[in-house]
């Protein structure tokens, strides 16, 4: 029996799923996970490895590396909210394809500049800004598009699959990066490779077959449309709590991310770049196990509680990394990163199920933008706090804050069972239901 969803939105979940529709949606799921896995591989090779190396070799300045990260973050904070308004007004497929093409062109032009030996440092900052701004359009757009090309019961698995692909790409990125940089044209070859991976993502998006059209959003003035998205985010308690938790978590995590390589060298004794690459690859492989388990965890304890469990694992892993010695730190780092994968897969599913499709772009973008606000503040404080209290204390303290936030979340709507959370909020009736685990939808 159809049940009302958020603000009258009828969930796409159905007790019986047409076999032909199921076949199409399974194909769509594979296309999304594989396409994003290839794209993430390019990102970890070029954006997270080659681009910082390019800036480091040209400037030799740690400050320049900080500005490079700031360029991406600034783009998200500047355009995140408006990107959501745009996404709810245009065709999602067109928006995400154009975003990926823009990122491909950015890296392609940088690769060409390196090949012609006319590269300049400012180009790296420009690429970081373009990739950051188009990335927020793409990520929010794809998450908004997924309910139109997948069955509702597939969303947890699809979001977990994307997180698994991300961690697998992180594992392979440093290995493939070394091969591409050394044998595939150097830094320019890495940039060109990333550009090509965006094109693979484009082909995967174009191959998706829509199962149901997205309801057309009413035409509203920009500020009114923006306010309606923020209003839905605020009035839906599980989303409000989860977004607030993400903001504080990012504030605590950003200092750890900013000093991670320094911590590995100074406190763990992992000094050369090859060892560091192996260290990152190993803990990313451990984290992939968390991503694999995310959909089963959502089925077992519920979507909201999975957000909390992921946060707890994240915090415990971060604190454990501050206690561990040498290479043993790879275990808590893997546990923490696996917790991030679980948290993110559940949080994305939560937003998709608690938001009417015609407002999904605005709500996702607003939630992501608010959560990202903690990153620049935390990253700025990271170096100062690390010098003042030591890097180990920074990891232990940051992990403790994240654990504390997760415990507090357990006392709120996210800590309730999915059915109890639905009953507590009439607008969320059954949108968090795990009925998809039983019957034809399973």
pLDDT of residue 248: 94
Measured CA to CA in angstroms, residue 7 lies from 77, 188, 212, 220, 357 at distances of: 28, 50, 19, 18, 11
Contact 62, 118 (CB under 8 A): no
Triad 387, 252, 404: Cα angle to 5°: 125
Do the domains 19-211 and 228-432 sit in the same CATH topology, yes or no? yes
Which DSSP category does 402 fall into?
H
Calculate the dihedral angle through the C-alpha atoms of 275, 277, 280, 286, rounding to the nearest 10 degrees. Answer: -90
pLDDT of residue 382: 67
pLDDT of residue 107: 95
Calculate the dihedral angle through the C-alpha atoms of 194, 199, 202, 208, rounding to the nearest 10 degrees. Answer: -110
CATH 1.10.630.10 is right for the domain spanning 19-211: no
pLDDT of residue 9: 38
Contact 17, 151 (CB under 8 A): yes
How many residues would you count in the chain? 442
Token reading at 10: 């009828």
Whole-prediction pTM value?
Answer: 0.83
How many whole angstroms separate alpha carbon 393 and alpha carbon 322?
A: 7
Pick one of 1.20.1250.20, 2.40.37.10, 1.10.3720.10, 2.60.40.2140 as the CATH number of 228-432: 1.20.1250.20
Tens-level pLDDT at each residue, the chain (442 residues): 233 333 333 344 344 446 677 889 999 999 999 999 999 998 888 887 788 878 877 776 656 666 777 777 888 888 888 999 999 998 999 999 999 999 999 999 999 999 898 888 889 989 989 998 999 999 999 999 999 999 988 999 999 999 999 988 888 876 776 666 666 667 888 899 899 999 999 999 999 999 988 887 777 888 888 899 999 999 999 999 999 999 999 988 887 877 777 788 788 888 766 677 788 888 888 998 888 889 999 999 999 999 999 999 999 999 999 999 999 999 999 999 999 999 999 999 999 999 999 899 999 999 999 998 888 777 777 667 767 788 889 899 999 999 999 999 999 999 987 655 544 444 433 333 333 233 233 2
SS3 of 421, please?
helix
Closest CA to 144 of 134, 160, 155: 155
pLDDT of residue 437: 31
pLDDT of residue 394: 87
pLDDT of residue 438: 31
Residue with tokens 């306010």: 227
Helix 303-323 × helix 273-301 angle, to 10°? 150
Contact 192, 51 (CB under 8 A): no
Spans of all domains in the chain: 19-211, 228-432
For 321-337, the DSSP string reads: HHH--GGGGHHHHHHHH
Closest CA to 40 of 150, 135, 120, 110: 135
pLDDT of residue 2: 30
Residue with tokens 């997948």: 150
Main-chain dihedrals φ then ψ at residue 422, nearest 5 degrees: -65, -40
pLDDT of residue 20: 76
């Amino acid at each position: 029996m159809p049940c009302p969803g958020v603000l009258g939105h009828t969930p796409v979940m159905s007790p019986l799923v047409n076999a032909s529709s199921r076949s199409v949606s399974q194909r769509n799921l594979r296309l999304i996970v594989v396409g994003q896995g290839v794209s993430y591989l390019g990102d970890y090779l070029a954006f997270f490895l080659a681009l910082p190396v390019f800036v480091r070799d040209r400037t030799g300045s740690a400050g320049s590396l900080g500005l490079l990260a700031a360029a991406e973050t600034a783009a998200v904070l500047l355009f995140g909210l408006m990107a959501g308004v745009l996404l709810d007004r245009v065709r999602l497929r067109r928006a995400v394809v154009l975003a990926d093409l823009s990122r491909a062109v950015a890296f392609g032009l940088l690769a060409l500049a390196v090949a012609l030996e006319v590269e300049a440092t400012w180009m790296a900052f420009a690429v970081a800004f373009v990739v950051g701004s188009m990335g927020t359009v793409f990520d929010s757009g794809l998450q908004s598009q997924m309910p139109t090309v997948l069955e509702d019961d597939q969303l947890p698995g699809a979001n977990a699959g994307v997180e698994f692909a991300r961690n697998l790409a992180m594992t392979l990125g440093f290995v493939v990066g070394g091969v591409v940089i050394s044998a595939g044209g150097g830094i320019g070859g890495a940039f060109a490779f990333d550009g090509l991976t965006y094109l693979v993502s484009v082909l995967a998006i174009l191959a998706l077959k829509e199962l149901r059209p997205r309801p057309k959003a009413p035409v509203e003035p920009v500020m009114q449309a923006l306010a309606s998205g923020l209003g839905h985010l605020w009035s839906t308690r599980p989303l409000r709590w989860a977004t607030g938790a993400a903001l504080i978590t990012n504030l605590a995590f950003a200092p750890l991310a900013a000093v991670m390589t320094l911590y590995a060298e100074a406190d763990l004794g992992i000094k050369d770049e090859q060892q560091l690459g192996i260290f990152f690859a190993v803990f990313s492989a451990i984290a992939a196990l968390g991503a694999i388990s995310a959909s089963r965890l959502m089925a077992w304890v519920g979507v909201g509680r999975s957000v909390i469990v992921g946060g707890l694992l994240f915090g415990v892993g971060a604190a454990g990394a501050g206690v561990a010695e040498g290479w043993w730190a790879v275990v808590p780092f893997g546990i923490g990163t696996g917790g991030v994968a679980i948290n993110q897969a559940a949080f994305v599913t939560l937003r998709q199920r608690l938001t009417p499709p015609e407002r999904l772009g605005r709500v996702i973008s607003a939630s992501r933008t608010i959560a990202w606000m903690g990153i620049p503040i935390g990253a700025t404080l990271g170096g100062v706090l690390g010098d003042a209290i030591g890097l180990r204390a920074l990891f232990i303290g940051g992990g403790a804050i994240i654990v504390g936030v997760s415990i507090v979340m357990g006392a709120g709507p996210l800590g309730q069972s999915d059915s109890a959370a639905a009953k507590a909020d009439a607008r969320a009736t059954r949108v968090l239901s795990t009925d998809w685990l039983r019957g034809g939808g399973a």
